[in-house]
Amino acid sequence: MSSIVIVISVFVCALAGACFWGANAHSRLKSALEAQSRMVEGHQKELLEAADALKELTDEYQSLISGCGAGVIVLDAQDTIIQASEEAVRQLGTPVAARLEGRSLLQVTLSAELIIKVKDARTAGQPEHCEIRLGASGTPCLSITVVPANKERGRCLVISQDVTELRRLETIRRDFVANVSHELRTPLTSIRAMAETLQDGALRDGEVADRFLGIISTEAQRLTRISEDLLILSHAESNAAERQKFSLSSLVEDVSSRLSKQAAQEGLQFVAHVQPGLSACGNPDQIEQVLINLIDNAIKYTPSGGSITVTAEPQGTQLSVSVKDTGIGLMSQDVSRIFERFYRVDKARSRASGGTGLGLSIVKHIVEAHGGQVTVESVYNHGSVFMFTLPAG
């Protein structure tokens, strides 16, 4: 009996120990699982935060590329485009739908010079600069900076700025300086030559002296006209037109009346068709200059027996003024350049008539500064029609 009690006691103790161990193990397991769960939740939170941070960086990167105003291309080690901004697509003249990714840089730019600059940037680990033109003269001109982005993977950034308009303006500036120098040098050379001849003794010959002094006076007047036109052009380009409401009908009639006398002296028929009550918004002094230049040109380049017709009328929400002549007209290659500074169709005839080559440039800048447009239609040996528009007042 005692041995059975002992066995039962041992069994109960063992069972109690097993239960205690099991409860303890369960508690430890539960704690471990809870800790593991907290760890997983912590990692998940970190991953979500990292994903949000990555998305934020990606959005900032895309915004930077899209909004920097430059074209941005990312190249791999084989000069294959792996990313290109919309501005880069536009600059390269590629339809937006036709993506650049996967194409070689040489294929899309056809510039061996640019490829050399990319290689030099990788080798030196420093930015390289160059300027390329996409095709023949007149096509887009791009200023390029190549920046090595990842030396180990051979990646580079190709950053481009469209400088086509800047280069065009630089060319205009150089041509303008050259033309001004030429236009001033010609009368100054004549004045100097005449003055030196008079100093050398021609002054004692009354007939020769009178002729030379007449040439000096004529060339001095030409210099005055050039300087005056340059000042008018500079003012038209640099200063916004002071706007006021004025009677365009009265202005056109007044200028036509004054210049019709000059036309009659040249044997020309002058007609003005001006609709009454036309009111424009702008600077009447500058618009008067436009009218004088256009009508004066028509008189100069219309042979005796021809006619000039000035018309002013409404055109939709704007007002239209045209000067039509039956003069020598323009060849097709001259029409597109006639408003350039110092451009002359017939240089000898222009200088003989006292023209400076700036009159039509002045017209263009004044009209465009007023929010209007100036156009020309011409047939060689059959005459021209110059027309400009102004906002109605």
Q: What is the pLDDT of residues 87-97, one digit of tens each?
A: 888 888 766 54
Same domain, 296 and 370: yes
Residues 6+ apart with CB under 8 A from 60: none
H/E segment holding residue 246: strand 244-247
Same domain, 113 and 204: no
Global pTM exceeds 0.75:
no
Q: What is the pLDDT of residues 125-152, one digit of tens each?
A: 899 999 988 776 557 889 999 999 887 8
Q: Which of 131, 162, 193 is the last residue of a domain?
A: 162
Domain total in the chain: 4
Edge-to-edge strand order for the sheet containing 383-391? Answer: 269-274, 307-315, 318-325, 383-391, 374-379
Dihedral pair phi/psi, residue 271, rounded to 5°: -130, 140
Same domain, 218 and 205: yes
Q: Which of 216, 239, 262 is the last residue of a domain?
A: 239
| pLDDT given at position 202 | 79
Same domain, 63 and 158: no
Annotate 78-140 with three-state secondary structure: CCEEEEECHHHHHHCCCCCCCCCCCCEHHHHHCCHHHHHHHHHHHHHCCCEEEEEECCCCCCC
Same domain, 148 and 186: no
Is the pLDDT higher at 50 or at 190? 190
Tokens linked to 331: 């060849």
Q: What is the pLDDT of residues 230-289, one digit of tens each?
A: 787 777 766 666 778 899 999 999 999 999 999 999 999 999 999 999 999 888 988 999
| CA dist., res. 373 & res. 364, Å (int) | 8
CATH number of the domain bearing residue 388? 3.30.565.10
Q: Which of 127, 162, 197 is the last residue of a domain?
A: 162
Same domain, 58 and 81: no
Nearest CA among 317, 301, 275, 260 for reference residue 385: 301
* N residues, the chain: 393
Confidence of residue 382 (pLDDT cuts 50, 70, 90): confident
Same domain, 265 and 218: no
Confidence of residue 348 (pLDDT cuts 50, 70, 90): very low
Q: Is the pLDDT of residue 309 over 50?
A: yes
Same domain, 246 and 146: no
Same domain, 31 and 152: no
Q: How crowded is the C-beta side of 145, counted as CA atoms within 13 Å?
A: 11
Average the pLDDT over each of 33-42, 193-202, 323-332 and give the range with the smallest value: 33-42
Q: Is the pLDDT of residue 12 over 60?
A: no
